[in-house]
């Protein structure tokens, strides 16, 4: 049975990995950053190749221009390119002005592309096999609203050297249009006491007589927030601009950008006159320094205080406790039956325990490697990420339906599998035990036991070898009871002896399998809606009929089996797309239940600004622990009364489907999976509660407010 299971589980994970290709994207709670390329004439010496970082900001957030204004920092791009390829400077689009009290900044909101030209020289020699230009970028940007958060990302991109690349032509062309156009005539800047008198000729006719935006590329020269007095003298634009009392620059040439709506013009103005004495050199502006300080204080201590040794111990204990999670019970019960089958064979016990443990540990390491690799490629993923895919949920539901039918005695694999495959279990018991361990991990992976959350949260931030050791420790903890059962005689003697009872137990175990299928159907309903769940149920019925038909004999098997196959194929063609469809109504309503509000980026901060504390429940439909806590502790009348008495706002972050913003919020808390329960209060670090909540723990946390 486990051999057949391997094929289905392997398909599920393969499909999941294919569905999450490595992309040059980094998503945070505040922005989505993506590395794009544009090579309309291919990658050849003398041809222009453009790459650029596209920043899509969340509402009310902005990043900065090359001159950030009174505070802020411009976005920094550091390129790693093959020999023969050189990166130019950022072709900055025209900025906007953001007044902040008595200050003002220059930058971008919405979606902006920062394009960079690449110079391809004759020394560039693409590989004969790959034929790609490999581009790597490390970007750092400061993103601000009322508070400022420094962010960064590492990106990788392959540009075909054998053909044109123009998928993002519209994005690049729009950015080129948003860049300031050079003016034919040079402007002048005359120093007059504590002001600058600016004159710019050569502006186009559409700008004449209009009020223009004024953006100097040299920072720390003018009072950014001060009003600019403007006038026209024929075709010459004139302005009087106050100097900054903290001026630290004395340029001989001042590049200036003038704007009118979404149009802009650039000139390099000659400075005339003697600069006044400069102020003392400035470091980071006081406003920015305070914002960064507040941001650093907001990080929970758990995110930085956990050591690698503690993470290993937490993973070991978490894996051990994982055996008690209800989602693991059906598979482990089958394993106990396997141990009972070898009750009188001590060597068989030991070999089976070792093989099962190896399957568990290898599977955890493999799952961890996939998670670490996808995160390194820019994917915002966390523990249990595979069940965020409706396709994987549906595949597991089909798998457990097959296992349930087999346990119930509807069919035996030998009835329709080739004899070579059907006898694998008896011929290769070690492989069967190993694959049982793989199956146990496939089912256990959505669960988060105590001690696991902080360990996995740290693991994804560690170098790959250390991260994989944490996942291996998690697997070893889960496998430990089975190693003990195989190698400690006292434990082995506690196991039941084989007998007729095993047939009854096997049939009984079909019902936990069908219960697991019911749970998976409910999970799919949360992801794809009622149509998705109903479509999967119909397909499972049709699949069961096909399996049953293959147990028939003679001509009836071919006739009924053929009809069953056609019915299943038609249903998959007609209704299969419902399984992976996105339920657009779900995100808006799933978390808004009763007094609970749906989580979204910035909502917690907005509520805290009113003076109310906030309790956030990071949850997912496929997380059994989450649902247990939700129906018990979080529904307890005493807990709800305490929350109401303290006027605590209740917010629920639904992670059932992949949500990079929720993943980023979990990462800030030092966590990588659900459940996570956090209590926020102004002036205090976030309080992260246990994965398995108790009424006393929650009430004690509320009482401390």
Tens digits of residue pLDDT in 616-647: 999 887 776 787 788 889 988 999 999 999 99
Give the max Cα distance, the chain.
105
> Is the bond leading into 352 cis (omega within 30 degrees of zero)?
no
Asked if residue 37 lies in contact with residue 135, where contact means CB atoms within 8 angstroms, the answer is yes
The whole-angstrom separation of Cα 598 and Cα 590 is: 7
Contact criterion met (CB below 8 Å) for 539 and 575? yes
Rounded to a whole number of angstroms, the distance between the first and last alpha carbons of the chain is 54
> Chain-wide mean pLDDT for the chain?
79
Strands 188-192 and 263-272: parallel
More confident: 344 or 289: 344
Write out the two tokens for 282. Answer: 């400035």
d(CA 236, CA 213) in angstroms, rounded, equals 15
Structural contact between residues 266 and 183, judged by C-beta atoms closer than 8 angstroms: yes
pLDDT at 127 > cutoff 80: no
Flag the least confident range among 106-115, 172-181, 388-397: 388-397
Two structure tokens written together for 465: 């070898």
Q: How far is CA 444 from CA 92, 587, 623, in A?
A: 49, 26, 10
Domain segments of the chain as ranges: 25-179, 188-275, 305-508, 588-703
Task: Mean pLDDT check: name the lowest of 12-26, 255-269, 300-314.
Answer: 12-26
pLDDT value for 239 = 93
Contact by Cβ (8 Å): 286, 272? no
What pLDDT is recorded for position 77?
93
* pLDDT category of residue 543 using cuts at 50, 70 and 90: very high
CA distance 265 to 207: 10
- Asked if residue 36 lies in contact with residue 166, where contact means CB atoms within 8 angstroms, the answer is no
State the Cα angle at 349 between 433 and 445, rounded to 5°.
40
Q: Which of 273, 148, 133, 140 is nearest to 199 (CA)?
A: 273
Cα separation, 244 vs 409, in Å, equals 85
Q: What is the gyration radius of the CA atoms in the chain, in angstroms? A: 31
Tell me the sheet residues that pair with 139.
Answer: 77, 153
Q: What pLDDT is recorded for position 353?
A: 78
DSSP class of 658: -
Helices (H), 271-345: 286-297, 302-305, 308-322, 329-341
Does 429 sit behind a cis peptide bond, omega within 30 degrees of 0 on the bond before it? no
Q: What is the pLDDT of residue 445?
A: 65
pTM of the model: 0.46
Q: Is the pLDDT of residue 500 over 90?
A: no
SS3 103: strand
Q: Which is more confidently placed, 484 or 68?
A: 68
Q: What does the alpha-carbon distance between residue 633 and residue 86 come to, in Å, rounded to a whole number?
A: 59
Residue pair 459/672 in contact (Cβ under 8 Å)? The answer is yes
Give CA–CA dist 532/155, Å, rounded: 35
User: What's the CA gap between 331 and 319, in Å, rounded?
Assistant: 15
More confident residue, 268 or 287: 268
Residue 159 per-residue DSSP state = E
Rounded Cα distance between 585 and 597, Å, is: 15
Confidence at residue 544, expressed as pLDDT on a 0 to 100 scale: 92
| E-assigned strand segments in 173-260 | 181-182, 188-192, 195-200, 213-216, 229-233, 236-242, 253-260
Angle CA 370–670–654, to nearest 5 = 75
Topology of domain 188-275, per CATH?
Immunoglobulin-like (2.60.40)
Q: Three-state SS for 363?
A: helix
pLDDT at 2: 46
Whole-angstrom distance, CA of residue 530 vs CA of residue 587: 14
Question: Is residue 574 pLDDT above 80, yes or no?
Answer: yes
**Whole-angstrom distance, CA of residue 315 vs CA of residue 331:** 21
Alpha-carbon dihedral sign for residues 522, 523, 527, 528: negative
**For the chain, counts of helices (H) and of strands (E):** 24, 24
Q: Does the domain formed by 25-179 have CATH 1.20.5.440?
A: no
pLDDT the model gives residue 455: 66
Is 278 within 8 Å of 250 (Cβ atoms)?
Answer: yes
Angle at 374 between CA 368 and CA 377, to 5 degrees: 140
Orientation of helix 501-508 relative to helix 329-341, angle to 10°: 160
d(Cα 76, Cα 57) in Å, to the nearest integer?
17
Tokens 């069940």, located at residue: 387
Kindly state the average pLDDT of the residues 530-559: 88
Report how far residue 115's alpha carbon sits from residue 425's, in angstroms, rounded to the nearest whole number: 58
Tell me what the mean pLDDT of segment 251-255 comes to. 89
Assign 277 to helix, strand or coil. coil
Calculate the alpha carbon distances from 37 to 171, 173, 540, 614, 666 in Å: 10, 12, 44, 42, 31
Token pair, residue 694, equals: 């108790």
Structure confidence at residue 35 (pLDDT)? 92
Tell me if the domain spanning 588-703 has CATH number 3.40.30.10.
yes
User: DSSP secondary-structure letter at 64?
Assistant: E
- Residue 504 tokens read as 């009854």
- Is residue 654 scored above 80 in pLDDT? yes
Confidence of residue 291 (pLDDT cuts 50, 70, 90): very low
Name the 3-class secondary structure at 688.
strand
- Which of 178, 172, 191, 205 is closest to 266 using CA atoms? 178
168-225 pLDDT tens trace:
888 999 999 999 999 887 889 999 888 999 999 989 988 988 999 999 998 888 988 8
Alpha helices in 342-380 (DSSP H): 346-376
Integer Cα distance of 462 and 307 in angstroms: 11
- Give the C-alpha separation, 587 to 582, whole Å: 10
Same fold, 188-275 and 588-703: no
If you ran DSSP here, which 8-state letter would residue 578 be given? H
Top pLDDT among 248 and 342 is at: 248
**% pLDDT > 70, the chain:** 77
Report d(CA 247, CA 452) in Å as an integer.
Answer: 53
Asked if 24 and 155 touch (Cβ cutoff 8 Å), the reply is yes
């Amino acid at each position: 049975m486990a051999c057949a299971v391997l094929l289905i589980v392997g398909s599920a994970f393969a499909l999941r990995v294919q569905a999450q290709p490595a992309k040059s994207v980094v998503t945070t709670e505040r922005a989505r950053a993506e590395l794009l390329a544009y090579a309309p004439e291919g990658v050849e010496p003398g041809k222009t190749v453009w790459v650029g970082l596209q920043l899509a900001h969340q509402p009310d957030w902005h990043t900065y221009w090359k001159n950030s204004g009174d505070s802020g920092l411009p976005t920094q791009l550091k390129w790693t390119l093959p020999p023969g390829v050189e990166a130019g400077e950022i072709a900055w689009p025209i900025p906007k002005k953001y007044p902040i009290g008595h200050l003002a900044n220059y930058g971008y909101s919405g979606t902006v592309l920062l394009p960079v030209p690449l110079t391809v020289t004759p020394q560039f020699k693409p590989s004969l096999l790959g034929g790609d230009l490999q581009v790597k970028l490390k970007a750092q940007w400061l993103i601000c609203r009322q508070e400022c958060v420094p962010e960064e990302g590492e990106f990788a991109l392959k540009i075909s050297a054998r053909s044109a690349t123009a998928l993002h032509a519209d994005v690049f062309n729009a950015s080129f249009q948003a860049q300031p156009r050079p003016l034919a005539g040079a402007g002048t800047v005359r120093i007059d006491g504590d002001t600058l008198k600016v004159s710019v000729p050569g502006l186009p006719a559409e700008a004449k007589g209009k009020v223009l935006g004024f953006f100097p590329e040299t920072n720390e020269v003018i009072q950014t927030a001060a009003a600019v007095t403007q006038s026209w003298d024929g075709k010459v634009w004139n302005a009087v601009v106050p100097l900054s009392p903290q001026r630290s620059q004395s340029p001989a040439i001042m590049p200036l950008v003038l704007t009118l709506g979404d149009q802009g013009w650039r000139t390099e103005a000659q400075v005339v006159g003697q600069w006044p004495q400069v102020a003392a050199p400035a470091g980071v502006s006081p406003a920015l320094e305070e914002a960064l300080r507040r941001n650093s204080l907001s990080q929970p201590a758990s995110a930085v205080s956990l050591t690698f040794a503690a993470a290993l111990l937490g993973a070991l204990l978490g894996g051990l406790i994982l055996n008690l999670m209800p989602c693991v019970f059906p598979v482990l019960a089958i394993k106990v039956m396997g141990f009972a089958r070898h009750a009188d064979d001590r060597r068989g016990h030991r070999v089976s325990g070792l093989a099962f443990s190896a399957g568990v540990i290898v599977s955890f390491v493999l799952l961890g490697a996939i998670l670490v690799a996808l995160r390194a490629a820019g994917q915002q993923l966390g523990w249990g990420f595979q069940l965020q895919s409706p396709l994987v949920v549906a595949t597991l539901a089909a798998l457990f339906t097959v296992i349930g039918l087999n346990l119930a005695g509807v069919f035996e694999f030998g009835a329709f599998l080739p004899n070579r495959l059907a006898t694998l279990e008896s011929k290769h018991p070690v492989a069967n035990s190993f694959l049982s361990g793989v199956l146990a991990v496939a089912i256990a992976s959505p669960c988060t036991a105590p001690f696991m959350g902080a360990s996995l949260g740290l693991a994804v931030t560690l170098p790959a070898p250390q991260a994989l050791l944490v996942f291996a420790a998690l697997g070893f903890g889960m496998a430990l009871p089975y190693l003990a059962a195989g190698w400690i005689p006292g434990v082995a003697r506690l196991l039941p002896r084989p007998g007729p009872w095993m047939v009854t137990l096997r049939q009984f175990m079909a019902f936990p399998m069908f219960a697991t299928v019911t749970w998976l159907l409910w999970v799919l309903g949360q992801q794809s809606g009622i149509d998705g769940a109903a479509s999967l149920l119909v397909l499972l019925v049709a699949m069961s009929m096909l399996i049953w038909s293959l147990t028939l004999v003679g001509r009836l098997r071919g006739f009924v089996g053929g009809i069953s196959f056609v019915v299943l194929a038609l249903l998959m063609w007609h209704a299969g797309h419902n399984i992976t469809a996105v339920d657009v109504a779900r995100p808006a309503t799933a978390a808004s239940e009763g007094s609970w509000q749906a989580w979204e980026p910035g909502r917690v901060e907005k509520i805290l600004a009113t003076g109310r504390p906030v309790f956030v429940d990071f949850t997912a439909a496929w997380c059994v622990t989450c649902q247990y806590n939700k129906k018990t502790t979080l529904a307890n009348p005493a807990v709800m009364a305490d929350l109401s008495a303290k006027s605590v706002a209740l917010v629920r972050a639904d992670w059932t489907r992949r949500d990079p913003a929720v993943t980023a919020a979990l990462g800030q808390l030092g966590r990588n999976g659900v459940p996570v329960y956090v209590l926020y209060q102004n002036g205090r670090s976030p309080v992260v509660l246990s994965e398995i909540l108790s009424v006393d723990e929650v009430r004690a946390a509320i009482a401390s407010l």
